[in-house]
Amino acid sequence: MYAFNIERPSTIAGAVDALAKDEAQALGGGQTLIPTLKQRLASPDTLVSLTGIPEMQGICTADDGALCIGGATSHAAVAAGASAYPALAALAGGVGDPAVRNRGTIGGSLANNDPSACYPSAVLASDATIVTNAREIAADDFFDGLFATALDEGEIITEVRFPVPEAANYQKFLQPASRFALVGVFVAKYADGVRVAVTGASEDGVFRWSDAEAALSGNFSASALAELSVPADGMIADLHGSAEYRAHLVKVMTGRAVSAA
Amino acid sequence: MTEVKMTVNGKAVSGTVEGRTLLSQFLREDLEMTGTHIGCDTSQCGACVVHVDGQAVKSCAMFAAEADGAEVTTIEGMANADGSLSTLQQAFQDHHGLQCGFCTPGMVMSAAALLAENPKPSEAEIRHYLEGNICRCTGYHNIVKAIQAASGQDVAIAAE
Ligand SMILES: Cc1cc2nc3c(=O)[nH]c(=O)nc-3n(C[C@H](O)[C@H](O)[C@H](O)COP(=O)(O)OP(=O)(O)OC[C@H]3O[C@@H](n4cnc5c(N)ncnc54)[C@H](O)[C@@H]3O)c2cc1C
Ligand code: FES
Ligand code: FES
């Protein structure tokens, strides 16, 4: 690692000020960033830790029923505390391993937008709102391809608001070495329709499978998917699975998620 | 360089660290407590697991500066006050839950965190909880048995 300083502000305003400096970068749980620093793929002068900010911690329910999760809330805290949205709690409880879940945060996962990360699928399928220090961003406008998001330089995710669905489920086909999703599908059924978000599969990162959404909005059962298929074009191909294999898994995992929801 | 203060195994300690000093490095090099092992240094193996404010974390994936003010427990803090092995450690010995012993500090720390949360875990729960702890030697069976035994559950003693 190159040398840097660490600042530990206790308010969002303090963090935003610290991040305004040249070559400053946010530090969430560090579960992605620390390995990146070790590989010298990042060289900030200052890391601004977000995990000591009480306003960015915890889970609550808003007046409109949405589940609000502070941007620096750990995966373990979501797994234990998001009982109002069981599919989301289960997703958080399946990220990595216990030690990773005790440190890693929802904001860090979303800002990182790893194409195989779990949380982006929940956010997209739930039509969640990403709240930053500066604005609110709809899930459909947030994810911007591999490791890219709508966040500006120095902008931090302070909260994520999830409308709670009538039924939902996340199915993760585990890549056993990394513990990320080889393919993961999050299905959420709301009064006004079904949303299906897929992670791990596409070279462009998380995406909505709109054909499945249309079919499931009419008939919420795995059989509604029978006639559908996912093109292998643009799917990730690596030593863990070919593009065709991933495309196939998208449909299989969607069916399982619908049955389990 | 910043000054950090924390409690390690019940004792107040302090030191001067760089921003990039990892908690694992601070424990091993500054405090000379080498019980915490570094297997991979890439967050994969779990040999470096310690407890920070009661939670299991990989000390190679946390900065010492982030542990400022925290209560840290390492494998050196697991034995009984008189120096004898704790029930969990003794169970690892009785059930041959280690061979080379490299992974053992992390295994014991993860197992202790599991038992604090779930005092009578099933075999499946133990295996699931240990997903982030890799052992090259034992094939895990005897580690699982040791944890079951430590939690007061019946396991066959003959660990062949
Ligand atoms: C062994 C292992 C297994 C894992 N398995 C999975 C898995 O199965 N599924 C999965 O989804 N993930 C997995 N992860 C990744 C894990 O979830 C990370 O915690 C997460 O990707 C990053 O979150 P973090 O809080 O650690 O962020 P950091 O590593 O601290 O930061 C990541 C990036 O986000 C930025 N950032 C951090 N917080 C914020 C914020 N609030 N606002 C704006 N920017 C911010 C940082 O500047 C950095 O660029 C795994 C990681 C490991 C080490
Ligand atoms: S040394 Fe920390 S996880 Fe391997
Ligand atoms: S006993 Fe050798 S690595 Fe586990």
What confidence tens digit (pLDDT) does each residue in B63-75 have?
A: 999 999 999 999 9
Q: Domain containing B143 — which CATH number?
A: 1.10.150.120
Interval B36-53: pLDDT, tens? 999 999 999 999 999 999
Expressed in angstroms and rounded, the spacing between residue B143 Cα and the centre of ligand 3 is: 10
Q: Are A82 and A88 in contact (CB under 8 A)?
A: yes
pLDDT digits (tens, 9 = 90+) for A9-45: 999 999 999 999 989 999 999 999 999 999 999 999 9
Whether ligand 3 lies within 6 angstroms of the CB of B102 is answered as: yes
Q: Which of B76, B106, B131 is the last residue of a domain?
A: B76
Q: Contact at 8 Å (CB) between A46 and A23?
A: yes
Partner-chain residue, chosen from B20, B56, B63, that has the shortest CB–CB distance to A99: B56
Q: What is the pLDDT of residue B160?
A: 47
Q: Identify whether B21 is part of a domain.
A: yes
User: Where among B26, B43, B76 does a domain terminate?
Assistant: B76
Give residue B100's domain range: 87-155
Q: What is this structure's pTM? A: 0.96
Inter-CA distances, A205 with A113, A156, A179, A202, B37, Å: 8, 21, 17, 5, 36
Q: Tell me whether residue B160 is in a domain.
A: no
User: Tens digits of per-residue pLDDT, A206-246?
Assistant: 999 999 999 999 999 999 999 999 999 999 999 999 999 99
Of residues A251, A250, A252, A232, the one with CA closest to residue A242: A232
A99 vs B57: CB contact, 8 Å cut-off?
A: yes
Structure-block tokens of residue A190: 């709301």
The C-alpha atoms of residue B131 and residue B102 are separated, in whole angstroms, by 17
Tokens found for residue A204? 């462009």
Q: What is the CATH number of the domain that holds B40?
A: 3.10.20.30
Domains of chain A by start residue, with CATH: 5-162 (3.30.465.10), 167-260 (3.30.390.50)
In the A/B pair of chains, how many CB contacts fall below 8 A?
A: 74
Paired strand residues for A202: A235
In this structure, the strands spanning A136-138 and A157-162 are unpaired
Ligand nearest to the CA of A97: 1
